[in-house]
Amino acid sequence: MKIAIGADHGGFELKESIKKHLEELGGYEVVDYGTYSPESVDYAAIAYKVGKAVTSENILGILCCGTGIGISMAANKVKGVRAACCSDYFSAKFTRMHNDANILCMGGRVVGAGLANELVDVFLTTEFEGGGRHQRRIDQITAIENGTFVE
């Protein structure tokens, strides 16, 4: 399974630890869009690269910054991205099941490495429930994104 991953300096260490975790698990091809050192960088550029990879290749992504918030805000501006900033197991699971989230965002200054691994595992292995109300609501999000939403 191919995964796009990225972080700014605030999420750099967490990204590195998640990469190691996924390598140890095996079965994942992790493509790292940076940053590649703890030096300060702007998170929007990383969010854009991972967002583009996720939507163009129809894969899942992982993004980390200090809080997980800025990078999720930026990623959600890429058409087709549904990025969810999570710091608990329930949200990481249900954002796949109900929102068909395609990027998991986490804060390197918020969650520890152990919890992050749990969030990553459940996010990557949980399927969208599909059908009915969940798909309808996602279609509404897409309509807002496309400027075609009818109130």
- Is 134 labeled as catalytic in the residue annotation? no
Of the residues 41, 65, 92, 105, which one makes contact with ligand RB5 according to CB under 6 A: 65
In the three-class reduction of DSSP (H, G, I as helix; E, B as strand; rest coil), residue 16 is classed as: helix
Of the residues 53, 66, 84, 119, which one makes contact with ligand RB5 according to CB under 6 A: 66
For ligand RB5, which stretch binds (CB under 6 A), given 49-57, 66-74, 83-91, 136-144?
66-74
- The answer to whether the CB of 110 falls within 8 A of the CB of 68 is yes
User: Which tokens sit at 94?
Assistant: 């249900």
Contacts 24+ apart (CB under 8 A), 139-145: 141/82, 145/79, 145/80
Q: Is 45 or 59 the residue whose CB approaches ligand RB5 more closely?
A: 45
Site membership for ligand RB5, residue 43 (CB under 6 A): yes
Site membership for ligand RB5, residue 8 (CB under 6 A): yes
Q: Is 32 or 121 the residue whose CB approaches ligand RB5 more closely?
A: 32
Contact mark string toward ligand RB5, 67..86, x via CB under 6 A: x-xx----------------
- The answer to whether the CB of 78 falls within 8 A of the CB of 46 is no
Indicate the DSSP class of residue 60: E
Q: How far apart are CA 70 and CA 59, in angstroms?
A: 21
Site membership for ligand RB5, residue 45 (CB under 6 A): no
Phi, psi of 53 (to 5 degrees): -65, -45
Residues making contact with ligand RB5 (CB under 6 A): 8, 10, 43, 65-67, 69-70
Residues assigned a catalytic role: 65, 98
